[in-house]
């Protein structure tokens, strides 16, 4: 896994366009963790696209009512001249604590999750129908235009659950909660997203055990690395008969 201080990275992908399938290259947005240290003590990790890190931290601290001198230790860490106790009880900053680099993030997930062993292969015609099916289930979005959605589909393309929320992570959590309560077999289902497929969303899919994650938008670099490691097909820009496959393309027929 190669860390980067650049906002984008070029990767090999497969492009689907109708019945045509070809190897290609694509640029994806980089998603890396940035660790905050208060006088040497790690206090939070922020998933972000590299660039303007000090501005990001200053803005985040300002929103929390905190002020501190900050300097960038390296590409992965910022040191704050602030008592670590100032972060006690601040769930906003303490969340998403997945380590100080992508390798640690994946190693942490490996302790809690297993590789998806499902033999599911999804026909591209089924995949192509999912954006419209999810969109038709977004009643609140239709009224407001302001929500993300996540849907759980069978491998035949039947939408079994759809949830909306202002936060895309929340929408996925709602679908996962429904699936756990329903007792269905996640290894025979597909998670479809209405927005960008970031690291944390793929992490949630890994924990659930679905073999395919697809989205109408782009994945991040770390999301792709997670999908590769844990056996998930990751598909982006699903629009009618077009799509980009970023990981485990054998799962898309």
According to the 3-state scheme, what is the secondary structure of 17-51? ECCEEEEEEEEEECCEEEEEEECCEEEEEEEECCC
- The residues assigned a catalytic role are 98
Structure-token pair, residue 232 = 């998930």
Residues 134, 109: Cα–Cα separation, whole Å: 29
| DSSP for the chain, written as a single string | ----SSSEEEEEEEEEETTEEEEEEEEEE--EEEEEEETTEEEEEEEE-SS-HHHHHHHHHHHTT----EEEEETTEEEESS-GGGGTT-HHHHSS---SSHHHHHHHHHTT---------B-HHHHHHHHHHHHHT-HHHHHHS--EEEEEEETTS-EEEEEEESSHHHHHHHHHHHHHHHT--GGGEEEEESS-B-HHHHHHHHHHT-SEEEESSPBBHHHHHHHHHHT-EEEEEEETTEEEEEE-GGGB-
């Amino acid at each position: 896994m190669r860390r980067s201080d650049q906002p984008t990275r070029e990767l090999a992908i497969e492009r689907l366009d109708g019945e045509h399938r070809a190897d290609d290259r694509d640029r994806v947005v980089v998603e890396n963790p940035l660790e905050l240290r208060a006088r040497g003590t790690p206090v939070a990790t922020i998933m972000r696209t590299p660039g303007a890190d000090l501005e990001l931290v200053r803005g985040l601290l300002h929103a929390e009512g905190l002020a501190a001198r900050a300097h960038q230790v390296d590409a992965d860490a910022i040191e704050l001249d602030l008592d670590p106790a100032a972060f006690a009880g601040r769930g906003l900053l303490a969340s998403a604590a997945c380590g100080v680099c992508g390798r640690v993030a994946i190693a942490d997930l490996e302790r809690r999750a297993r590789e998806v062993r499902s033999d599911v292969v999804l026909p591209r015609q089924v995949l192509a129908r999912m954006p419209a099916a999810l969109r038709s289930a977004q009643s609140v979005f239709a009224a407001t235009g302001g929500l993300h959605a996540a849907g759980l589909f069978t491998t035949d393309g039947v939408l079994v659950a759809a949830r909306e929320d202002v936060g895309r992570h929340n929408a996925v959590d709602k679908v996962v909660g429904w699936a756990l309560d329903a007792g269905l077999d996640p290894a025979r289902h597909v998670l479809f997203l209405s927005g960008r497929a970031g690291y944390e969303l793929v992490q949630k899919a890994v924990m659930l055990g679905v073999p395919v994650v697809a989205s109408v938008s782009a994945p991040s670099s770390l999301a792709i690395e997670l999908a590769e490691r844990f056996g998930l097909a990751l598909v982006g820009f699903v629009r009618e008969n077009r799509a980009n496959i970023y990981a485990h393309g054998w799962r898309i027929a």
